[in-house]
Amino acid sequence: MTAPDGPAPVLRVSDLVKEYGEGDARVRALRGVSMDVERGDYVAIMGASGSGKSTLMNILGCLDVPTSGTYLIDGADVGLLDEHQLAILRNRRVGFVFQSFNLIPRMSALANVELPLVYGGVGLAERRARALAALEQVGLADRVHHEPNQLSGGQQQRVAVARALVTAPALLLADEPTGNLDTASTGDVLQIMDRLSDSGRTIVLITHENDVAAHAKRVIRLVDGEIVEDRRQAPVDGPPPRMAAL
């Protein structure tokens, strides 16, 4: 649904609170976080350990629920969805990229990328074509039949990016995607993220590294479960800044 003043944001987070434990042991991981993420934006969420960024990531990915507050993704109020509806939303509207790749060891790159489409009930011919296109998009057209142990760390993460893209999600959610990579592989993965952003993909990236956040169009910094900085580095319709050559 389109509002009179323009399209609805891909993400709308309003006064999110997340608490763990009870009584004296209660911990407030998020303390009233609110933000919108426009379609086509590239946002880096930063913070030290314990800042709440991982908790926020889990809620944005529909892997956890807030204690209070509302969260809409692509117009859908996540708080109103049952488990089955949440699973469908995660599969179709959110693409995940994790620090640890999360590839299935004895499956080829192609089969790993096809998995979300298998779960989504997509037929063999269509999912094969879409998976091949996604692998080509991340520069791995010549590695489709390789298993994860035959690929470098950087190549495995590029397979993970292809898997995240194959469902054409509204949101690409990346949690420390370069955390396990060497400098060269980090550069490769960030170049792919830059190209995806240039093509209009909406990206939210969790990182503690300033060099990684430098690629984003907007930086949000959390401290003790609260947003203390929300800084735009580039317009939503413009290219993100480029990091200096590695």
User: What's 62's domain CATH number?
Assistant: 3.40.50.300
Together in a domain, 21 and 81: yes
Check residue 246 and give its pLDDT. 29
Together in a domain, 131 and 25: no
Together in a domain, 151 and 40: no
Establish if 1 belongs to a structural domain: no
Together in a domain, 153 and 46: no
Establish if 20 belongs to a structural domain: yes
Together in a domain, 151 and 207: no
Q: What is the mean pLDDT for each group of 10 consecutive residues in the chain (246 residues)? A: 62 95 88 96 94 92 91 90 89 89 94 93 94 95 96 94 92 92 92 92 93 96 96 82 43
Check residue 5 and give its pLDDT. 55
Check residue 21 and give its pLDDT. 87
Together in a domain, 28 and 83: yes
Choose one of 146, 168, 190: the last residue of a domain.
Answer: 168
Residues forming beta bridges with residue 43, ordered by sequence position: 204, 218
Together in a domain, 13 and 89: yes
Closest of 237, 232, 234 to residue 201, by C-alpha: 237
Together in a domain, 136 and 199: no
Choose one of 140, 168, 196: the last residue of a domain.
Answer: 168
User: CB-based contacts of 17: which residues, under 8 Å, 6+ apart?
Assistant: 28, 30, 31, 32, 66, 67, 68, 69
Check residue 131 and give its pLDDT. 96
Say how many domains are in the chain.
Answer: 2
Together in a domain, 199 and 80: yes
Check residue 243 and give its pLDDT. 45
Q: What is the pTM of this model?
A: 0.89
Q: Can you give the residue range of the structural domain that contains 142? A: 100-168
Together in a domain, 84 and 136: no
Choose one of 168, 199, 222: the last residue of a domain.
Answer: 168
Establish if 3 belongs to a structural domain: no
Together in a domain, 77 and 178: yes
Closest of 10, 53, 43 to residue 217, by C-alpha: 43
Together in a domain, 114 and 136: yes
